[in-house]
Copies of this chain bind each other. A is one copy, B any other.
């Protein structure tokens, strides 16, 4: 038998409490600080409970990521329905807390196949929905797919916002103000002044 040990039900209250604790720990001290003992301490539960609700630490990381990713998809869906989806995405992409968690998960995923696949899966879904919504904005602004394919617009915007936030967290600033200005000038051209 592969897994003779029993496991707690997916919607037990303490399971969610543990994920909450793990998330805060990861944000405050990085993924390496997410150990069964520390998670339990933060959740005010016994360390062994982590192993009751999750087969191992990897499964906990996976649960953390999936919960965040699903919530994010809903937030993005609302943003894309707004009258100014590009402005909404731009603000969405420059949120510092999200960026910090993102870089932790990326580093973790570098060496964990299952998590890597999960991140790729969700990231493609985010991009797919962005692309669909943005296509019509570009069309309305008279920018054809030959000049700028919608998916490229999303790759560029994602890249720039992510790197700016990340560098900002590092304490860097060279070129940031000028880049913000250029991006926002372009957004104004496409969607007008932000609401």
The distance in angstroms between the C-alpha atoms of A170 and B103, with both chains bound, is 13
Q: In this complex, what residue of B is CB-closest to A182?
A: B152
A128-B174, A162-B163, A175-B127 given; A110·B155 CB < 8 A: no
Give the distance to chain B from A157, nearest Cβ to Cβ, in Å: 10
A32-B31, A104-B107, A107-B30 given; A152·B174 CB < 8 A: no
Q: By the criterion CB–CB under 8 Å, are A170 and B127 in contact?
A: no
A149 at the interface (CB under 8 A from B): yes
Chain B residues, Cβ within 8 Å of A128 = 174
A178 at the interface (CB under 8 A from B): yes
Q: By the criterion CB–CB under 8 Å, are B31 and A117 in contact?
A: no
**Option from B30, B107, B154, B159 in Cβ contact (under 8 Å) with A159:** B159
Chain B residues, Cβ within 8 Å of A172 = 120, 123-124
Give the distance to chain B from A69, nearest Cβ to Cβ, in Å: 13
List, sorted by A's number, 28 A–B pairs whose CB atoms are closer than 8 Å: A28-B111, A29-B111, A30-B108, A30-B110, A30-B111, A32-B32, A103-B106, A106-B166, A106-B170, A107-B108, A116-B170, A117-B171, A119-B170, A124-B172, A149-B175, A149-B178, A151-B174, A151-B175, A152-B178, A152-B179, A152-B182, A155-B164, A155-B175, A155-B176, A159-B159, A159-B163, A159-B164, A162-B163
Interface residues of chain A, those whose CB is within 8 Å of chain B, are 28-33, 100, 103-104, 106-111, 116-117, 119-120, 123-124, 127-128, 131, 148-149, 151-152, 154-156, 158-160, 162-164, 166-167, 169-172, 174-176, 178-179, 182
